[in-house]
Structure 1
Amino acid sequence: MTMLNSNTLRIASASGSVTDRRHGLAELAHNEDIQFIVGDWMSEYNMTTRGGAKVKGNMESSEFETSFMESIEPALQDLAARKIKVAVNAGASDTKKLHDVLLADIQKKGLDLKVAWIEGDEVSDLFQEAVRAGDEFVNLTTGQRLKDWDFDPIYAQCYLGAWGIVEALKQGADIVLCGRVTDASPTIACAAYHYGWDRQDFNQLAHAYVAGHFIECSTYVTGGNFSGFKSLPGLGIDIGFPIVEISAAGDFVVGLQKGKDGMVTENTCKAQLLYEIQGPMYYNPDVVAILDDIVIKQIGPNRVHIGNVKSLQPPPTTKIGITALGGFQAEVHFFLCGLDIQEKASLLERQVRNLLDESKYHTLIFRTSGSCETDPSSQDAATVDVHALAVANFVRPCTDTIMQSYPGATFAVDARQAAPKPYYEYFVSIFPQDRMRHICHTPFNGNSISIDPPRDTVPFVLDQATYDTKAPFDLGVFGPTTRAPLGYVVHARSGDKGSDANVGFFVRHEDEWNWLRSLLSTDKIRLLLGKDYVGNQIFRFELPNIWAVHFLLKDHLDRGVASSSTYDVLGKNVAEYLRSKWVDIPTQFLARGRI
C-alpha cells in the first residue's frame, strides 16, 4: 500500500448529476484542503434532450446545464483566493456558450480566474460522413444495426478522454469546461497533470480512472443510494461529498467532506464500484481498468484505501450516442382500489384499446403498479396505479371509457402528463478516436491546441467473459436455512448504460461469499427476475476480493432513459427489486442482523 502524505493530491467531487445539491461546490471551495474540484452535470438524458433541441433550433433549451452556473457562481471568490482548480462536465450541447457566460461573470467580479473549454464531443458531421461512407454502426445494448433502426439520426455526441483537460491545465487554466468527456475523465486529468503522468502510464491512469468512478456520482460513495442506508450516522439529511487522495503510484483513499452526515466504508465503496460497470474490463478512451483483483480496505473512520487495479491499453474507439426524434409521448393514470385489481386492469385495457387506432402508436403500454394489501388499513393502502403510455390524440379515448369501466373507475384529474411531449430515441455505438477533433481552447488569446488520439491501443471487446462459479458449494453445507428476502443479508447496487442494466451483489462477511457465489448463478437471476426476464442475454462475473457477483442484463430497460416507458428509467431499482425476492438464507447469517 502506498503511503499518502500531506502533499498527496486531493480531489473533491461537487456534483453527480444535474439534480445534485447545488451548494456543494461552494462549500468545498470554502472549507476543504483540496487542490481540485470535479463535477458532472451530464447524463444520457440531457445528452439527447439538449442535442435534440439544438438541432430543432430551440435556443431556450440548446445550451449548457444552467444548474452548474448556480453551483459555481457562489464559489468563485474562494476558488480564486485559494487557488483551487475546477474541471467539469457541464457544457451539454453548447460548451462555448457556457465558457462565455462564466467568463463574463468572472470578469464582472474582477477575479483572476482563467477559463478553458474542450471541443470535439459533438460529432454529428463526422458521424454523417461515416454513414455516407458505408460504415456500420451496431447498438452496444441491443445488437441492432443502425440501418435497421426505425428512426432518423439528428445529432451525435462522443465521449472524450482526459488529455484535453490535461492540456488546459498545463496552459494555465483554473477552470476547464467540457461538454461530454467520460464521467471519470476530469479526475484522471487532474491526477495526470498533478503528477506529470504520460499517456503510457497505464497502471496509474487505471487507478485514477477507478478513483474518478468512485466520485463521479458524488454522494453515492458516501452513503447516498446505499442499500445499507439504515446504518447511516445522524439524520442523513446533509450527506457529505467525497474527497479522493491519489498517490503518485495511482492507488487512492476515499474520504468524506468534514462536518457532514454520511459515511465512507468498504461497503459504500463496493456499492459504487459495482455501479454502471459492464464487466471486469472497464473501458475509457484513455485506459482500460481491469477490476478482477481490486482490493478495498478500511484504514480508518471514513477512510477507505483502494488499490491493485490492473490496466490495459485503451481502445481505438470511444462511445458515441446517436439521437433521433422518437415522436410524442403522453401518459394517463387510473386508480384502482380494493378487490379484483388484475381483472379491473384487464377490463380497462380492453376498453381503451378498443377506442384507439393502435396503428398510430409506436408504443402503447399499460402497467399496473402496486397491489391491495390483505385487509387494508386505509383506502390508500388498497389503491394501485394503472399507467397507460402512448402518444398524441391519446387522452380522450382513455377518459371516454370511464363511465363504462371497472367499479370505482377513477383517472388522475391533473391531465398535464397527458399532453403530448416530444421525446428522443437513443442509439449507443462506438466511433474511431482518430476521426475526432479533440481540441483544447486555452485561456490565452483564443489559442487552440489539437489533442492526438491514443496510438497504443487494443480493440474494444463488446462481449466480455461471462461465467458461473466454476466450483459451487452445495448450499446444504451452510446449515439450516430460513426463507427470507435476499436483501436481509446481501447488499446490491444497479444502474443503466443505454438500455442495459447492471446489478452487483456483495456480502458483509467473508464466510458468506461462497454461499453468495454459489447461490447467484445466471439461472437463479433469471428466476428471481420473474416476469421481468424476457429472454435477453445475461453476463456474469465475480470479484472475489470484495465478495461480489456482478450481472449485466442486456437490453433490460426498454430503450433507455430518454424513451423508456417504465418507472425505473435509470435501472436504479433493479437491485432493490432483486433484494426483495425471497430465497433460502442460512439461519446463521440472518442471526447476525439484517442490513
Structure 2
Amino acid sequence: MGSIAARQPVRVISVSGAVTDLPENLVEAASHANVDFIVGDWMSEYNMTIRGSSKIANVDNAQAEAAFEHTFLEALEPALESLATRDIKLAVNAGSSDTLRLCQSVEKLVKEKDLSLTVAWVEGDEVFDIIQRHRKQGNKFRNITTGQYLDDWKYEPIYAQCYLGSWGITESFRNGADIVICGRVADAAPIMAAAAFWHGWSNSSYEELAHSLIAGHLIECSTYVTGGNFTGFKSLPQCGSPFLNLPIATIRSDGTFSIGMHETPERGGQVSFDTCRSQLLYELQGKRYYNSDVVAIVDQIKMEPDGPNSVFVNNIKWEKPPPTTKVGLTAKGGFQAEVHYFAVGLDIPEKSSLLEKQLRSYLDRGQFSLLKVTTSGCAQPNPASQDEATVDIRIFAQAESEDTFTPKNFLRPCLNIIMSTYPGATFAIDNRQALPKPYFEYFVTIFPQSEVNHVAHIPSRNWSKPIAAPEDTVPYQFEQDIQEGPIEVDVLRDFGPTTIAPLGYIVHARSGDKGSDCNVGFYARNKDEWLWLRSLLTIQRVKELLQNDYNGKRIERFELPNIQAVHFLLKDHLDRGVASTSTYDALGKNVAEYLRAKHIPIPDQFLARGKI
C-alpha cells in the first residue's frame, strides 16, 4: 500500500457493532464492497463480564470452551477467500478474554483453506494481576461513573480488562498482517489504526487522529449511522430487504472524512446529516471524547452533505491523550430471578400496589439485596382489544445466595398469593425466569497506560513489538464542564402560539449507556428551531422531563451549535449498568424515546412543518 496509497483517502467499512449484529455482513463486505479495510466490533461491557468470568471459572479446565466471541468465526469463515483475493485487511474486537486462542483458530481456518493471509493478535487488555498489585501497594481506584473508590466497593473483583489504543493494530499492519485480532481495544481503534497505517501518521498526529477517532465513533456500530436506532426511521428509503446498508468512512490524509455507505439494491437506509448527528450523540460523555491515543473535542464539529448518501465531517478539536485508559473490573454479584404478573383494564396502579404489598408481606424477610416491583406499559383508554388493555407487573429480585431462589423460597411464594389479590390476577405460565441465574457487578475506573503490557504479535513470523504508552499527556477529567447556555428567549412567548404535544414530534434524540451513566442528546430539524431547543432544554427542564426517573444525581450539559444539538450526561442513571441492572432499559437506549414522548408546549409554526 505504501506511498501510492498514502496519496488517496482510505475506505473503511464497519460490519459489526455488537455480538448480536448480522453475521452475513462480513462476507457481503469482503465479497462486494469497494473498500481497503473491514472492521468490526463483537464486544460490549456485558460480554466483557460474561467472558471474563467464564475464563476465571474454567482456568483449570483445558477442555472448557474458549472465552472469545465464537460468532465472529462463523462470520469470518465464508469471507476468508474474498479477503485474500481482493487484498482487503481486517481488524476486529472479538477476542474477549481469549484473544490468542481466537488468533490460533483463525490461523487454523486460513491454513485449512490454503490461503496466504497473515494473522496477528494484540495483547495487553487483561490487567487483573496488575490491578491487584497496585491495590496491595495502597493505590486507589475511583469509579468514573459513581465516584466510589474500589476499596469501598462491597464486591471483590475476579477479572479486569482495559481498553487499548490503536497502535498495536497499526504496527501489525505495518509488519505485514492481513487480519488483526483484538481482545478489547477502544471501539474506534481499528478505524484509527487503518487510517494511521494507510497515511503514515505518527502517535503525535493529534489532529488527524482526533478526526479518525470520530470517524470510528460514527461507523463503529455498523448500521446505526445508516438508519438503525434513528428517530427518523419512518422516513428512511425502503428497498427489497428491510435491513440497512453498511457504512463506509473515507478518511483523508489530514484526518477529515466523509461517511457514506456500501449501497446494494437489496438493502435500504441512508447516510444523512440527521443520521450522522444521531450516531455522533450516541454514548458521548461530554465534549471530550476520550481515547488512549488522543482526545477528540466535539463541541465545534461541523457536518455537511457532500453528495447522495455522503456527509463530510471536519473541525474536530483535540487534546493530547490521557496518561490513563479505562478499565472494567468484574465481580460476582450474586443471583437474580423474576416473576411476571399481568393486569388488565382499570385501576392498574391500585392493582399493582396491592400485589406489591402482599408480596412484601409474604415473601420479603430481608433475604434479598434487591426486591423491586415495577409496572410496565399502560392500558389504552377504550381499548380495541384485550392486549391493548394489558400491562406487565415484574417482580425482580437479587440476592447473594443461589438458595434464596429455590422454588420453595421464591417462585411458590410469588404465585401462592394469586387467590388473594387483584381482580383478573394472572401470572406468566412460563416461569423459567424464576430460576436463579448469576449476575455480575461491574466497576469502571482508569489505570496508567504505562502499566499495560501492550504488545502486537504475528505468531507465524515469530514477530512481536511492545507498544509504548504516550508520554506527553493531559490528565483525565472525571467531571466535564457544565455548560448551561444563556437563556436568550422565553420559550413560551417569543415563538408565538403553542400547542401541547410530544417533544418528539419535532425533535430528534439519541441515548445510550457507559457503565451506569446514561447520555442523551437532542437535535433540531431546522436551524431556526435551534434557539428554541437550546433555550428549552436546560438542566432543570431535563430534570422535570425525567420526572419520577430523576435520581437526584449530577447532570452535565454541553452544546454543539454547528449541528444544532444539546447533550446531557445523566450520572449513575442506569442502576449499576448492563451487567447487573434491574431495569428493562439495560442499555439506556430508550431514555431518549421516553423524553421525546413527554408533552410540552411546542410552537405552532414548528408543528406546521409536520411530525418526524
TM range (shorter): over 0.9
Contact 1:51 1:62 (C-alpha < 8 Å) held by counterparts: no
Partner residue in 2 for 1:175: 179
Partner residue in 1 for 2:236: 232
Partner residue in 2 for 1:400: 416
Partner residue in 2 for 1:562: 579
Amino acid at match of 2:15: A
Contact 1:167 1:440 (C-alpha < 8 Å) held by counterparts: yes
The reply on whether 1:192 has 2:196 as its aligned counterpart is yes
Contact 1:10 1:245 (C-alpha < 8 Å) held by counterparts: yes
Partner residue in 1 for 2:497: 480
Residue 461 of structure 2 aligns to a residue in which SS? coil
**What are the residue-to-residue correspondences of 1:99-138 with 2, within 5 Å?**
99-138=103-142
Partner residue in 2 for 1:247: 252
Contact 2:301 2:315 (C-alpha < 8 Å) held by counterparts: yes
**What are the residue-to-residue correspondences of 1:263-412 with 2, within 5 Å?**
263-391=270-398, 392-393=405-406, 394-412=410-428
Tell me the distance in 2 between the aligned counterparts of 1:323 and 1:482: 49
**What are the residue-to-residue correspondences of 1:201-212 with 2, within 5 Å?**
201-212=205-216
Contact 1:337 1:408 (C-alpha < 8 Å) held by counterparts: yes
Residue 484 of structure 1 aligns to a residue in which SS? strand
**What are the residue-to-residue correspondences of 1:92-103 with 2, within 5 Å?**
92-103=96-107
- 1:371-414 superposed Cα distances (whole Å, 9 cap, x missing partner): 11112111111110001111423212111111211111111111
Tell me the distance in 2 between the aligned counterparts of 1:62 and 1:227: 38
Contact 1:289 1:311 (C-alpha < 8 Å) held by counterparts: yes
Tell me the distance in 1 between the aligned counterparts of 2:340 and 2:364: 19
Tell me the distance in 2 between the aligned counterparts of 1:99 and 1:542: 43
Q: Name the stretch that deviates more: 218-227 or 384-393.
A: 384-393
- 1:511-531 superposed Cα distances (whole Å, 9 cap, x missing partner): 000000000000000000010
Tell me the distance in 2 between the aligned counterparts of 1:502 and 1:396: 39
Amino acid at match of 1:436: V
Contact 1:442 1:449 (C-alpha < 8 Å) held by counterparts: no
Partner residue in 1 for 2:18: 17
Amino acid at match of 1:287: V
Contact 2:121 2:182 (C-alpha < 8 Å) held by counterparts: yes
Partner residue in 2 for 1:538: 555
TM-score (norm 2): 0.95
Tell me the distance in 1 between the aligned counterparts of 2:64 and 2:554: 41
Aligned pair in 2 of structure 1 residues 375, 273: CA closer, same or farther (>3 Å)?
same
Tell me the distance in 1 between the aligned counterparts of 2:601 and 2:568: 20
C-alpha displacement of 1:445: 3.3
Residue 300 of structure 1 aligns to a residue in which SS? coil
Q: Equivalent of 1:256, from 242, 256, 261?
A: 261
Unaligned runs of 5+ in 2: 399-404
- 1:40-95 superposed Cα distances (whole Å, 9 cap, x missing partner): 00000000011011111176555110111111111100000011000000001100
The reply on whether 1:166 has 2:170 as its aligned counterpart is yes
Residue 559 of structure 2 aligns to a residue in which SS? strand
Q: Name the stretch that deviates more: 215-224 or 146-155.
A: 146-155
Tell me the distance in 2 between the aligned counterparts of 1:142 and 1:189: 32
C-alpha displacement of 1:258: 1.4
- 1:200-256 superposed Cα distances (whole Å, 9 cap, x missing partner): 000000000000000000000000000000000015612001001000000000001
Residue 524 of structure 1 aligns to a residue in which SS? helix
Q: What fraction of aligned residue pairs are identical, expressed as a percent? A: 56
Aligned residues: 592
Partner residue in 2 for 1:38: 39
Amino acid at match of 1:256: M
Amino acid at match of 1:530: Q
Tell me the distance in 2 between the aligned counterparts of 1:430 and 1:467: 25
Partner residue in 1 for 2:462: 446
Amino acid at match of 2:16: S
Q: Name the stretch that deviates more: 391-400 or 490-499.
A: 391-400
Contact 1:358 1:364 (C-alpha < 8 Å) held by counterparts: no
Contact 2:66 2:101 (C-alpha < 8 Å) held by counterparts: no
Amino acid at match of 1:508: R
Amino acid at match of 1:512: E
C-alpha displacement of 1:105: 0.8
C-alpha displacement of 1:482: 1.0
Contact 1:14 1:39 (C-alpha < 8 Å) held by counterparts: yes
Contact 1:345 1:386 (C-alpha < 8 Å) held by counterparts: yes
Tell me the distance in 1 between the aligned counterparts of 2:156 and 2:531: 49
